[in-house]
Amino acid sequence: MKIAAFNGSPRGRKSNTGIMVTEFLTGAEEAGAETEHVFLSEKKIGNCLGCFKCWINTPGKCVIQDDMTELLGQVINSDLIIMATPLYVDGVTGIMKNFMDRFIPLIDPHFEKDEDGEYRHVKRFPKYPKIMIISNCGMPGQEHFQAIKLHFRRMARNTHSEVVAEIYLDCGEMLKNQIPILRPAITKYKKNLQKAGFEIATTGEISQKVSEKLAKPLLPASIFVREANKYWDRELGKLSN
Ligand SMILES: Cc1cc2nc3c(=O)[nH]c(=O)nc-3n(C[C@H](O)[C@H](O)[C@H](O)COP(=O)(O)O)c2cc1C
């Protein structure tokens, strides 16, 4: 199985998203998958110009000469793409959105009705990669991922694909926390990410058992909020001293 993970965090290699993707891919590699972790922040990705030249003048090819030519090749040649992004304003980061907008050369402009009676554009390629989502956010609570979940489902539908797996971690900033009492929970979480990667590469999905473990925060929300607010007080206190 060929898996390409596209990491849309502006923090790149220092991101929580990066930690999640790295552990997940380690497990997938153990199961024999061929993987790649692409840091979109290191790539040159211009914003879509909305000119539709990729549909009319040069079908399937964007007029912008940047890293998207290579990245779209990687997308279409993968069995599974991982859209990995921290939650920004309840959605994806700007980097990830630019990347997603540039997918339009992959589809043909003609309209069609799908099996549910909804309209979309026609396929340009016989096969599209399946989609997986990895995301983390700052707030406690899985409800913060509602909009992103729906967005990726709609995007998958529009690109003749489907979301086959998703991992969402709230209180995501805890993943890099060095407090000793958090270490066992972080180690366990990373092991479960590896298990999920192994499962995807062997069965094409993540078991309910592992999914449920990965949806649990690293510490209870009330403790997180108490400690996080103390942290902000300390940081802001440094400014006034
Ligand atoms: C501009 C901006 C917007 C954000 N919006 C949200 C948000 O809507 N909800 C939330 O829970 N966290 C939000 N966060 C917090 C990030 O999701 C959080 O810091 C995350 O752990 C960053 O992950 P990364 O290290 O992978 O980039 C936001 C952060 C920034 C900088």
SS3 content of the chain, % helix, strand, coil (to 5): 45, 20, 35
Q: Whose CA is closest to atom 22 on ligand 1?
A: 86
pLDDT at 148: 98
C-alpha count within 13 angstroms, C-beta hemisphere, residue 71: 31
Q: Whose CA is closest to atom 2 on ligand 1?
A: 88
pLDDT at 218: 94
- Calpha distance 142→197 (Å, rounded): 21
State whether residue 86 is helix, strand or coil.
Answer: strand
- Calpha distance 21→5 (Å, rounded): 7
> Which residue in 173, 151, 134, 157 sits closest to 35, CA to CA?
134
pLDDT per residue as tens digits for the range 10-58: 999 999 999 999 999 999 999 999 999 999 999 999 999 999 999 999 9
Q: Are 31 and 204 within 8 A, CB to CB?
A: no
CATH number at residue 70: 3.40.50.360
Q: Whose CA is closest to atom 29 on ligand 1?
A: 88
- Calpha distance 121→87 (Å, rounded): 28
State whether residue 174 is helix, strand or coil.
Answer: helix
Written as six digits, the tokens of 132 are 């997986």
Whether the CA torsion 84, 86, 87, 89 is positive or negative: it is: negative
Give the domain extent around 139: 2-240
Number of domains the chain is built from? 1
Written as six digits, the tokens of 131 are 């989609």
pLDDT at 167: 98
Rg of the chain taking only CA atoms, in angstroms: 19
Looking at the DSSP assignment, which residues form a beta bridge with residue 91?
Answer: 88
State whether residue 37 is helix, strand or coil.
Answer: strand
pLDDT at 179: 87
16 lines ligand 1 (CB under 6 A): yes
Report, as an integer, the average pLDDT of 120-134: 98
- Calpha distance 169→24 (Å, rounded): 13
Residue to substitute in 16, 87, 90 for testing ligand 1 pocket (most ligand atoms within 8 angstroms of CB):
87
The model's confidence at residue 240, banded by pLDDT at 50, 70 and 90, is confident
Q: What is the mean pLDDT of the chain?
A: 97
